[in-house]
Amino acid sequence: MQKLQWVLLLSTMVSLLFGFYQHFYNPSFGNTPLMVNHNIINDTFKDANSFGAFLAIVIPLLLGMALALKKLVKVASAVLVFSSFLILPYTDH
C-alpha cells in the first residue's frame, strides 16, 4: 500500500507542476490554441475538464492521506491538497 501512496503523490505532483507551468509561464506548452485563447489549462490531460475531474477525485484521497498518515506522506499530501485548491479554478472557466 505504501508504494501506491507514493505513486499517487508523485503523479499528482507532476501533474500540478505541469499545470502551474502552463498557467504562469507558458500557456501554449502542451495546450491547444482554443484553450490558450480562453486562458484554460489542460495540464497533461487532453482537455481542461479532465484535469478538473482528476483534481476532484484526487483531493479527497490526498486529504484523507494528510489526516490519516504520518510524517513525510502527511506533509506531502497536505501540500498537494493546498496546491490543488490553488489551481482548480483555472482548469475551467
Instruction: Please check whether residue 12 is in contact with residue 58, taking contact to mean a CB–CB distance below 8 angstroms.
Output: yes
Q: Which residue has the higher pLDDT, 48 or 27?
A: 27
What's the pTM?
0.81
Mean pLDDT, the chain, whole residue set: 84
pLDDT for 11 beyond 70: yes
What's the mean pLDDT in 48-57? Answer: 83
Per residue in 77-87, pLDDT (tens digit) is: 889 999 988 88
Does the pLDDT of residue 48 top 70, yes or no? no
CB-neighbour burial class of residue 84 (10 A; exposed 0-12, middle 13-18, buried 19+): buried
pLDDT band at 1 (very low <50, low <70, confident <90, very high): low
Task: Answer whether 41's CB lies under 8 Å from 35's CB.
Answer: yes
List the chain domain ranges.
2-90
Give me 1's grid cell. Answer: 500500500
- Quote the cell numbers at residue 92: 475551467
